[in-house]
């Protein structure tokens, strides 16, 4: 199984190792549909939850912006693939907009323009020797499904499976890497408990756990579908992308602090990784116990954390067996540490995807956060792309296969 890490910036890292990336180490950059595509209401695309949130409640976004146009990658396929080619990446990770392909979210109505757009993007990448690395779900649920409760509704698992089937069928002949769902904890915690991301629910302790449960089932089922129906013919790899907050004990000598940090990690990262990677195929024991106890104390008749059936647990575990050393990917967020993880910890990190290819609509931060390798002028109707220092630094790393601390691209000065 592959461990990929995302990073926000390549600049000004502390000095570290002299290790090199092996020739088969995969470099890439990544984006997400809502953050870059624009073209939110053209050629048959349906409304999704980010369209709805940003239009109906602009104050959720710090600069009251939205992804209506964003980087307009929808209209810039050829140009953007040229930038990727110049950068020298092996893969480009992008996500599919579910509502561009299925405007209502349901599979009875397919939007031909959605298939056309992604087919053209994939073909253009392949023509330029860049492997498409496709995320099925990066947070932009079709609005009609949200009206059924979104990820809190078990039925959404079935609709996701229909969508996944269509996507594998249409694009899988050219796609080697798949991610089912991007960062489930953020979907469920920020979207369903904290009200920070669409759909901006604030039912902490209930909606977030239902969401997590269904996201895990959706992932397991899509994985199973791919393995049983497509893998033999298409021979791709399929995984899931995690994010985690990291907790350190305040005092390493205090047992209570050590336990608190471990418990927090279990409740955050373990929530999604334990069901998939552990032998039990279930939530972390501490999480089950704690939520059960608290639920009882609050007068609930059963735990607010849903439980898996035996079959569901088997499906979840099936995936886990293919994984090795997955955790390192979450806490090694910088390249030095990726090299160290590979060379010193014996962890098989096989690739690295920079977040993000382009400055983009950064969810609740709007256009105020600039994580891109390429600057975009959002006032310019052409959304002109301009390389940054980090563009050249990344390009150099890819080319040299190592981190060159002294490298300062032409026209730039040293950063401290």
Ligand X SMILES: *[C@@H]1O[C@H](CO)[C@@H](O)[C@H](O)[C@H]1NC(C)=O
| Distance, CA of 300 to CA of 147 (rounded, Å) | 26
337 contributes a contact to ligand X by CB under 6 A: yes
Q: Which residue has the tokens 């373990």?
A: 270
| Cβ 41 to ligand X shortest distance, Å | 4
CA torsion sign for 376, 62, 210, 310 is positive
- Count, residues near ligand X per rule CB under 6 A: 10
- The contact mask relative to ligand X for 349-378 (x = CB under 6 A, - = no) is -x----------------------------
348 contributes a contact to ligand X by CB under 6 A: yes
Of 68, 176, 282, 318, the residue at the interface with ligand X (CB under 6 A) is 68
Nearer to ligand X, 2 or 8 (CB): 2
* Residue 36 tokens, joined: 């870059």
Under a CB-based contact definition with an 8 Å cutoff, are residues 242 and 215 in contact?
no
Nearer to ligand X, 18 or 311 (CB): 18
* Residue 76 tokens, joined: 């810039």
Options 92-100, 257-265, 302-310, 332-340: segment touching ligand X (CB under 6 A): 332-340
176 contributes a contact to ligand X by CB under 6 A: no
Options 285-293, 333-341, 364-372, 382-390: segment touching ligand X (CB under 6 A): 333-341
For 147-245, where are the alpha helices, taking DSSP H only?
155-171, 184-192, 207-225, 231-234
Nearer to ligand X, 190 or 330 (CB): 330
Of 170, 203, 264, 336, the residue at the interface with ligand X (CB under 6 A) is 336
| Distance, CA of 379 to CA of 347 (rounded, Å) | 44
Options 172-180, 281-289, 310-318, 335-343: segment touching ligand X (CB under 6 A): 335-343
- The contact mask relative to ligand X for 2-41 (x = CB under 6 A, - = no) is x-------------xx-----------------------x
Nearer to ligand X, 106 or 334 (CB): 334
Nearer to ligand X, 3 or 216 (CB): 3
* Residue 229 tokens, joined: 């129906």
* Residue 98 tokens, joined: 């579910």
Contact residues for 256 (Cβ-Cβ < 8 A; gap 6+): none
By residue count, the chain amounts to: 416
| Burial bucket for residue 416 (CB in 10 Å: 0-12, 13-18, 19+) | exposed
User: Which SS3 state, helix, strand or coil, does residue 161 take?
Assistant: helix
Q: Which residue has the tokens 């979207």?
A: 191
Task: Give the binding site for ligand X (CB under 6 A).
Answer: 2, 16-17, 41, 68, 336-337, 340, 348, 350
């Amino acid at each position: 199984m592959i461990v990929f890490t995302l990073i926000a910036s390549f600049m000004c890292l502390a000095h570290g190792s002299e290790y090199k990336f092996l020739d088969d180490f995969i470099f890439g950059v990544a984006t997400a549909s809502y953050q870059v595509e624009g073209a939110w209401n053209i050629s048959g695309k349906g409304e999704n939850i980010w369209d709805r949130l940003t239009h109906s409640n602009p104050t959720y976004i710090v600069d009251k912006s939205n992804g209506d146009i964003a980087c307009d990658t929808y209209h810039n396929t050829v140009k953007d693939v040229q930038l990727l080619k110049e950068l020298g990446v092996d893969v480009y990770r992008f996500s599919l907009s579910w509502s561009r392909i299925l405007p209502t979210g349901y599979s009875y109505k397919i939007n031909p323009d959605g298939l056309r757009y992604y087919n053209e993007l994939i073909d253009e990448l392949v023509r330029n020797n860049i492997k498409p690395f496709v995320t099925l779900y990066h947070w932009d649920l079709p609005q009609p499904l949200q009206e059924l409760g979104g990820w809190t509704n078990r039925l959404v698992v079935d609709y996701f499976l229909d969508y996944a089937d269509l996507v594998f069928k249409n694009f899988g002949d050219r796609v080697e890497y798949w991610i089912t769902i991007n960062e489930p904890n953020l979907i469920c915690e920020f979207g369903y408990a904290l009200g920070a991301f669409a759909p901006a629910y604030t039912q902490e302790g209930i909606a977030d756990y239902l969401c997590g449960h269904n996201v895990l089932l959706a992932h397991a089922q899509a994985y199973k579908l791919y393995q049983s129906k497509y893998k033999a013919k298409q021979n791709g790899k399929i995984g899931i992308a995690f994010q985690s907050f990291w907790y350190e004990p305040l005092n390493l000598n205090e047992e209570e602090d050590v336990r608190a940090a471990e418990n927090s990690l279990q409740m955050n990262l373990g929530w999604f990784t334990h069901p998939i990677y552990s032998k039990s195929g279930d939530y972390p024991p501490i999480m089950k116990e704690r939520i059960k106890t608290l639920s009882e104390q609050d007068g609930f008749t059963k735990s607010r954390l849903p439980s898996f059936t035996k079959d569901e647990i088997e499906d979840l575990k099936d995936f886990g067996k293919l994984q090795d050393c997955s955790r390192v990917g979450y806490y090694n967020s910088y390249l030095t540490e990726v090299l160290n993880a590979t060379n010193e910890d014996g962890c098989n990190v096989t690739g690295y995807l920079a977040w993000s290819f382009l400055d983009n609509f950064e969810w609740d931060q709007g256009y105020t956060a600039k994580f891109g390798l390429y600057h975009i002028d959002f006032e310019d109707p052409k959304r002109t792309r301009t390389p940054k220092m980090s563009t050249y630094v990344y390009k150099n790393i890819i080319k040299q296969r190592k981190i060159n601390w002294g490298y300062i691209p032409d026209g730039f000065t040293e950063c401290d």
